[in-house]
Amino acid sequence: MRAILFTIDDAYVMPFKVAWHSLVSTNSLPEDVQPFIVHEGTLSDGSMREIATFLGARDHEPVFIDAAGYMPTDLPLWPGDRLTRTSYLRLFTASMLPKTVSRVVYLDADGIALQSIRDLFDVPLSAPLAAADHLAPVQALRLFGPTGGRYLQSGVLIIDLEAWRREQVEATFRTILADRADWMSLHDQDVLNLAFEGRWPPLPVWFNTCRFVRSYAARSDVAANVRFLHLDGTTKPWTRYTRSWEYQAWYTAHEHALGQPFDTRTLLGSRLPAAWRHAKKTVAMGLGRSRIPELW
């Protein structure tokens, strides 16, 4: 059985629907793929019905799995942290998913397919995990010391579940979580990097075009090659408005998925230009226009 995995809560139902529609519209899903959605009691019955109806209209039937009982109780989460226990769910999917599922493609729900990612389902695996490089040497330096190393980005993963079960990697994850909690600034992503150091074949970064890839690669290369646009980071298109091409691509995907434009007027950022203009006018009235630099 070929499978695709998401870990979401109620707050991510809408972004998940946008992501799923983008996969369908780019022919990214094999006909026999089974979607699994893992949560930890954080999806309401209403949310599950909404997702099931949405996927059913696109010829897929999701399997919902409640992770209660599979997860450690003392996961590293810090006061004010933007992430929740949901970010750790993918670490324990080898136990949660049926034994008939031997491998799974995992995707973060804060992204959209701009070109087909169907190839991910057929990538030969020579290791328990395949992922794209985060292009973040500072993180490798933090985890592995002065010699550094490669550091994977966990938003797109190909997981060999048979290897995870055979090697009992969840026990390794639990040990890392217990012994290295003070190092877990990037949560489950740090755990995966420590557990599979030097043992993850790299995927082309276009399958996980995260913000570091977009920062370092030429814009023309990104535009020509991006497959899965990963909108990682602390802000999202549905929480803050910008005119960046990435956010505009997501707004277009939202309209295609849900049949209506995303209302950006309520977002922080959409009102800032007007506020800046008002502030500039107010200051200019008091200080004289020549005193106001043209910064906006």
Rg (CA), the chain: 21
Cα–Cα distance measured from residue 153 to residue 202, given in angstroms and rounded to the nearest whole number: 10
Domain 3-262, classified CATH 3.90.550.10, yes or no: yes
Q: For position 270, what pLDDT does the model report?
A: 60
Could you identify the residue written with the tokens 């070109």? 115
Q: For position 247, what pLDDT does the model report?
A: 97
- Identify the helix (H) or strand (E) that includes residue 4: strand 3-7
| Torsion sign across C-alpha atoms 228, 232, 237, 241 | negative
DSSP 38-67: EESS-S-HHHHHHHHHHHHTTT---EEEE-
Residues 6+ apart with CB under 8 A from 74: none
Q: Where are the domains of the chain?
A: 3-262, 267-296
Cα–Cα distance measured from residue 11 to residue 239, given in angstroms and rounded to the nearest whole number: 11
3-class DSSP assignment, residue 88 = helix
pTM of the predicted model over 0.85: yes
Q: What is the mean pLDDT of residues 189-200?
A: 94
pLDDT, one tens digit per residue, over 35-58 is 999 999 889 999 999 999 999 999
Residues 6+ apart with CB under 8 A from 283: 291, 292
pLDDT band at 71 (very low <50, low <70, confident <90, very high): confident
Q: Which residues, listed in sequence order, are joined to residue 131 by a DSSP beta bridge? A: 157, 202
Q: For position 78, what pLDDT does the model report?
A: 61
Q: For position 87, what pLDDT does the model report?
A: 79
SS3 content of the chain, % helix, strand, coil (to 5): 45, 15, 40
- Identify the helix (H) or strand (E) that includes residue 183: none
pLDDT, one tens digit per residue, over 243-260 is 999 999 999 999 999 999
Q: For position 286, what pLDDT does the model report?
A: 39
Token code pair at residue 235: 């802000």
